[in-house]
Chain A
Amino acid sequence: MTVRAHLIALGIVALTLTALALGYHNAFILNLVFAGLIFAVLGQSWNWISGYAGQISFGHALFFGCGAYASALFAARHGSPWLALPAGAAVAAILALLVGFPCFALRGHYFSIATIAVAAIAEIAATNLAALGKANGFEMPILAPGIATLQFSDKGHYVLVALALFVFAQLATLGLERSRLGFYLRAIRLNQEAAASVGVDARAAKLTTYAACGALAALAGSLYAQQALYVGPEDTLGLPISIAIALVGVVGGLSTVWGPALGALVYVALARYGGALLGGQGHGLDLLLYGGLILVIVSWRPDGLAGIGRSIRRALERREARAAP
Chain B
Amino acid sequence: MSAPLLEVRGLAKRFGSLRALDGVDLTVPHGGLTALIGPNGAGKTTAFGCIAGAQRPSGGSIRFEGIEIAGAAYHRVARLGLVRTYQVVQPFAEMTVLDAVTVGALLRRPRVASARDFAATTIDALGLGAKSATIARSLTIADKKRLELARALATEPRLLLLDEVMAGLTPTECAAAVELLRTIVARGITIVMVEHVMEVLMPLADHVVVLATGRVIFDGSPSDAVNDPGVIEAYLGRP
Interchain CB contact under 8 A, B54 and A183: no
Interchain CB contact under 8 A, A199 and B75: yes
Contact with A along B146-158 (1 / 0, CB 8 A): 0000011011000
Tell me, yes or no, whether B110 is within 8 Å of chain A by CB.
yes
Interchain CB contact under 8 A, B75 and A200: yes
Tell me, yes or no, whether A16 is within 8 Å of chain B by CB.
no
- Taking the nearest CB of chain A, how far is it from the CB of B100, in angstroms? 8
Closest A residue to B155 using CB positions: A198
Which chain A residues border B100 with CB–CB below 8 Å? 187
Interchain CB contact under 8 A, B90 and A196: no
- Please provide the chain B residues from 68 to 90 with a CB less than 8 Å away from any CB of chain A in the complex: 73-76, 78-79, 83-86, 90
Which chain B residues border A26 with CB–CB below 8 Å? none
Tell me, yes or no, whether B115 is within 8 Å of chain A by CB.
yes
- Which of B75, B90, B112, B154 interacts with A178 by CB under 8 Å? B112
Interchain CB contact under 8 A, A190 and B54: no
- Which of A179, A184, A197 interacts with B90 by CB under 8 Å? A197
With contacts A180-B115, A190-B92 taken as known, whether A197 is within 8 angstroms of B106 at the C-beta atoms is: no
Closest B residue to A179 using CB positions: B112
Tell me, yes or no, whether B91 is within 8 Å of chain A by CB.
yes
- Taking the nearest CB of chain A, how far is it from the CB of B27, in angstroms? 23
- Taking the nearest CB of chain B, how far is it from the CB of A180, in angstroms? 5
Interchain CB contact under 8 A, A183 and B155: no
Tell me, yes or no, whether A191 is within 8 Å of chain B by CB.
yes
- Taking the nearest CB of chain A, how far is it from the CB of B228, in angstroms? 33
**In the complex, which of the residues B79, B95, B99, B106 has the most CB atoms of chain A within 10 Å of its own CB atom?**
B106
Say which size band chain A's interface belongs to.
10 to 19
Interchain CB contact under 8 A, A187 and B92: yes
Tell me, yes or no, whether A12 is within 8 Å of chain B by CB.
no
How far apart are the CA atoms of A111 and B110 in the complex, in Å? 28
Tell me, yes or no, whether B26 is within 8 Å of chain A by CB.
no
Tell me, yes or no, whether A186 is within 8 Å of chain B by CB.
yes
Which chain B residues border A193 with CB–CB below 8 Å? 54, 74, 90
Interchain CB contact under 8 A, A199 and B94: no
Interchain CB contact under 8 A, A196 and B103: no
Interchain CB contact under 8 A, A197 and B92: no
Tell me, yes or no, whether B222 is within 8 Å of chain A by CB.
no
Closest B residue to A201 using CB positions: B75
- Taking the nearest CB of chain A, how far is it from the CB of B7, in angstroms? 22
- Please provide the chain A residues from 176 to 211 with a CB less than 8 Å away from any CB of chain B in the complex: 178-180, 183-184, 186-187, 190-191, 193-202
Interchain CB contact under 8 A, A191 and B107: no
How far apart are the CA atoms of A187 and B115 in the complex, in Å? 15
Interchain CB contact under 8 A, B103 and A187: yes
- Taking the nearest CB of chain B, how far is it from the CB of A149, in angstroms? 41
How far apart are the CA atoms of A30 and B107 in the complex, in Å? 47
Contact with A along B178-198 (1 / 0, CB 8 A): 000000000000000000000
Interchain CB contact under 8 A, B152 and A198: yes
Tell me, yes or no, whether B52 is within 8 Å of chain A by CB.
yes
Interchain CB contact under 8 A, A196 and B54: yes
- Which of A187, A190, A197, A202 interacts with B52 by CB under 8 Å? A197
Interchain CB contact under 8 A, B54 and A198: no
Which chain A residues border B102 with CB–CB below 8 Å? 183
Which chain B residues border A198 with CB–CB below 8 Å? 78, 83, 103-104, 107, 151-152, 154-155
Which chain A residues border B78 with CB–CB below 8 Å? 196-199
How far apart are the CA atoms of A263 and B91 in the complex, in Å? 31
Which chain A residues border B103 with CB–CB below 8 Å? 183-184, 186-187, 195, 198, 200
Tell me, yes or no, whether B93 is within 8 Å of chain A by CB.
yes
Closest A residue to B113 using CB positions: A178
Closest B residue to A205 using CB positions: B75
How far apart are the CA atoms of A191 and B90 in the complex, in Å? 7
Which chain A residues border B52 with CB–CB below 8 Å? 197
Interchain CB contact under 8 A, B83 and A191: no
- Taking the nearest CB of chain A, how far is it from the CB of B6, in angstroms? 17
Which chain A residues border B84 with CB–CB below 8 Å? 197
- Taking the nearest CB of chain A, how far is it from the CB of B158, in angstroms? 13
Query: Nearest 9 pairs between A and B by C-beta?
Result: A199-B78, A194-B90, A199-B107, A196-B74, A190-B92, A198-B104, A187-B103, A201-B75, A196-B75
Q: Knowing that A197-B78, A200-B103 touch, tell me 13 more A-B residue pairs with CB under 8 angstroms.
A: A183-B102, A183-B103, A187-B95, A190-B93, A194-B90, A195-B103, A196-B74, A196-B78, A197-B74, A197-B86, A198-B152, A199-B78, A199-B79
Q: Sample 9 A-B pairs with CB under 8 A, ordered by A number.
A: A180-B111, A183-B99, A184-B103, A195-B92, A196-B74, A197-B83, A197-B90, A198-B152, A201-B75
